[in-house]
């Protein structure tokens, strides 16, 4: 009966039942075999009580046993009390020693398991990071490894990166819930699907488990870099900062608290070779588990790895961008033109609207170079590129095709709309002041322009669009230059 009860109560009551049962057994034994067994049988009760309640339990049991021995045997002697005290203290010390050893064992086992888990996380993250230099995928891998239950286990993580000018930190992406209810829904989904870290990384974690509201708010943030606020302190000291209570003198802390309903969070700096990349912000909005220094230390290696990967990805993007741009004018080049043309050209599958193409070159540019030299000619090309960019709408693309020839792609634009833009380009070039333009035949630098659009029934392929605009440009040249001609009839130019 005692054993049955012990497994249905708390640990403290369990021990109490165990000790009292021992005392009851002692009394039963005495009733059966006689009182002359009481003194040594009570040692059994003292030993069990000392083991259950350590030193205090052993001492109390010794006093109770001595009192029982005196009252039931009518023998008054300090010897039993001393013996009981010795046994009680001894069993209490042994119990305390074994308890501490067991506690240390569990502590080390927990630490080893956590380290093993972290090493597994780092291994999977490293493997995934080595496969890509795409910043979006790297951010997804980093945040998933920080928040997933099979990862480091934080409830939520957000990344802020420096803008092109390192004066502010922009919110980029976050993983985790906006509120507690959403957090439990995500955890239940992960549990039901039995998803592990690799699954979350590889199976579209963002679309299934991120909160759109969280990311909308995060991406709207642009926090000024200040060495006095919590972000600046973390980056300047190159150490993690744990915010236990919001400092009302720090506007960045107040902002994070108000937008994301968090009272405690940690800021982890992302630094590579002394270069500030950004910060990783973590919190436990759902389970409210306090963030400790050990937690931040466990995340530092991942943060360092993330900083290196993000820095390399940024350099790679810059190199890719340079490879797609003309070195003189900064406009996109022919390689970029082929890619963007393919992406925006209307096909039966993509259901895109009409795509217009404008092609133009500088009138009498060979004459200009012969009179003024190629260095001044390069200055003209650079200024002309600026005029083009200033005339373009958001979403338009401008390219230098080589020499004095330029191309503009206008997605979702009809031929009539492209004619208006082409005329703006022609007029803006005509009224702009270029160095050496007074040597031109008309005393002004001008361009001839041809336009074409996929809304023409005869234009079906990309090459036909380019050829049509080229034919229109040829007509503009023959018509006296400094004019715009649109391709409206599919006729071959002699």
CATH code assigned at 231: 3.30.450.40
Q: Is residue 114 part of a domain?
A: no
| 440 vs 47: CA distance, rounded Å | 112
Q: How confident is the model at residue 206 (pLDDT cuts 50, 70, 90)?
A: very low
User: Domain ends where: 56, 83, 104?
Assistant: 104
| Residue in 93, 229, 202, 216 with CA at minimum distance from that of residue 141 | 202
Q: Is residue 111 part of a domain?
A: no
| 399 vs 331: CA distance, rounded Å | 5
- Which one has a higher pLDDT value, 422 or 184? 422
- Are residues 306 and 345 located together in one domain of the fold? no
Q: Is residue 43 part of a domain?
A: yes
Q: What is the pLDDT of residue 23?
A: 73
Transcribe 367-423 into DSSP letters.
HHHHHH-HHHHHHHHHHHHHHHHHHPPTT-EEEEEETTEEEEEETT--HHHHHHHHH
Q: What is the pLDDT of residue 30?
A: 65
- Are residues 194 and 80 located together in one domain of the fold? no
| Residue in 487, 476, 467, 415 with CA at minimum distance from that of residue 447 | 476
Q: How confident is the model at residue 429 (pLDDT cuts 50, 70, 90)?
A: very high
User: Domain ends where: 318, 347, 381?
Assistant: 318
Contact 50, 92 (CB under 8 A): yes
Burial, 164: exposed, middle or buried (Cβ in 10 Å; 0-12, 13-18, 19+)? exposed
Is residue 182 over pLDDT 70? no
Work out the average pLDDT over 331-344. Answer: 90
Is residue 56 over pLDDT 90? no
Q: What is the pLDDT of residue 204?
A: 43
Contact 240, 266 (CB under 8 A): yes
- Are residues 38 and 151 located together in one domain of the fold? no
- Are residues 172 and 289 located together in one domain of the fold? yes
- Are residues 98 and 206 located together in one domain of the fold? no
- Are residues 339 and 305 located together in one domain of the fold? no
Quick one: DSSP state of residue 291? P
Contact 275, 241 (CB under 8 A): no
- pTM of this structure: 0.51
- Are residues 76 and 159 located together in one domain of the fold? no
- Are residues 263 and 148 located together in one domain of the fold? yes
Question: pLDDT, tens digit, for every residue of 221-279?
Answer: 888 888 889 999 998 888 899 999 999 999 999 999 999 888 899 998 988 878 888 88
Q: What is the pLDDT of residue 125?
A: 62
- Are residues 243 and 377 located together in one domain of the fold? no
- Are residues 250 and 154 located together in one domain of the fold? yes
| Residue in 398, 372, 375 with CA at minimum distance from that of residue 386 | 398
- Are residues 360 and 304 located together in one domain of the fold? no
Q: Is residue 326 part of a domain?
A: no
Q: At what angle do helices 78-129 and 38-73 cross, to 10 degrees?
A: 130
| 335 vs 342: CA distance, rounded Å | 11
- Which one has a higher pLDDT value, 401 or 26? 401
Q: Is residue 100 part of a domain?
A: yes
Q: Is residue 64 part of a domain?
A: yes
Q: Is residue 338 part of a domain?
A: yes
Q: Is residue 32 part of a domain?
A: yes
466 lies in which domain range? Answer: 334-486
User: Domain ends where: 294, 318, 342?
Assistant: 318
| Most confident of the ranges 106-115, 155-164, 348-357, 476-485 | 476-485
| 29 vs 34: CA distance, rounded Å | 8
Contact 87, 79 (CB under 8 A): no
Question: pLDDT, tens digit, for every residue of 83-142?
Answer: 777 777 777 777 778 778 888 888 777 666 666 666 666 666 666 666 665 666 667 777
| 309 vs 321: CA distance, rounded Å | 18
- First-to-last CA distance in the chain? 110
Work out the average pLDDT over 37-49. Answer: 69
Total count of domains within the chain: 3
Backbone angles phi, psi at 471, to 5 degrees: -65, -40
């Amino acid at each position: 009966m005692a054993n049955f009860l012990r497994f249905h109560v708390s640990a403290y009551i369990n021990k109490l039942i165990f000790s009292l049962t021992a005392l009851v057994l002692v009394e039963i034994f005495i009733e059966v075999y006689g009182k002359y067994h009481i003194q040594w049988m009570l040692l059994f009760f003292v030993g069990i009580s000392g083991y259950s309640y350590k030193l205090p339990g052993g001492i109390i049991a010794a006093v109770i046993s001595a009192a029982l021995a005196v009252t039931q045997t009518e023998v008054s002697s300090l010897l039993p009390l001393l013996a009981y005290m010795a046994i009680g203290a001894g069993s209490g010390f042994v119990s305390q020693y074994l308890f501490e050893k067991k506690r240390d064992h569990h502590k080390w086992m927990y630490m080893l398991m956590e380290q093993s888990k972290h090493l597994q996380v780092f291994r999977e993250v490293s493997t995934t990071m080595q496969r890509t230099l795409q910043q979006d995928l790297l951010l997804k891998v980093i945040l998933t490894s920080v928040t997933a239950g099979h990862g480091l286990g934080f409830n939520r993580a957000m990344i802020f990166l420096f803008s092109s000018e390192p004066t502010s930190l922009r919110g980029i992406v976050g993983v985790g819930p906006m509120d507690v209810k959403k957090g439990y829904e995500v955890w239940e989904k992960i549990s039901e699907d039995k998803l592990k870290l690799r699954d979350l990384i590889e199976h579209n974690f963002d679309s299934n488990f991120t909160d759109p509201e969280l990311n909308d708010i995060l991406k709207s943030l642009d926090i000024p870099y200040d060495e006095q606020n919590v972000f600046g302190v973390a980056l300047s000291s190159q150490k993690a900062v744990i915010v236990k209570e919001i400092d009302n003198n720090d506007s960045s802390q107040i902002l994070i608290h108000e937008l994301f309903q968090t009272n405690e969070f940690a800021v982890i700096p992302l630094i590579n070779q002394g270069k500030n990349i950004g910060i990783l912000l973590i919190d436990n909005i759902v389970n409210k588990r306090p963030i400790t220094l050990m937690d931040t230390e466990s995340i530092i290696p991942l943060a360092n790895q993330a900083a290196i990967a993000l820095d390399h990805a940024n350099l790679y993007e810059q190199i890719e961008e340079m490879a797609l741009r003309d070195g003189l004018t900064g406009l996109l080049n022919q390689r970029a033109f082929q890619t963007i043309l393919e992406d925006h050209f209307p096909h039966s599958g993509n259901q895109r609207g009409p795509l217009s193409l404008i092609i133009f070159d500088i009138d009498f540019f060979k004459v200009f170079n012969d009179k003024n030299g190629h260095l001044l000619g390069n200055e003209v090309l650079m200024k002309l590129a600026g005029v083009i960019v200033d005339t373009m709408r958001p979403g338009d693309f401008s390219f230098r095709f080589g020499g004095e020839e330029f191309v503009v792609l206008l997605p979702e634009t009809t031929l009539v709309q492209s004619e208006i833009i082409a005329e703006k380009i022609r007029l803006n070039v005509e009224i702009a002041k270029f160095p050496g333009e007074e040597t031109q035949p008309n005393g002004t630098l001008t361009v001839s322009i041809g336009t074409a659009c996929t809304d023409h029934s005869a234009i079906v392929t990309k090459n036909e669009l380019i050829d049509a605009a080229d034919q229109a440009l040829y007509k503009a040249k023959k018509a006296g230059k400094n004019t715009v001609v649109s391709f409206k009839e599919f006729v071959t130019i002699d």
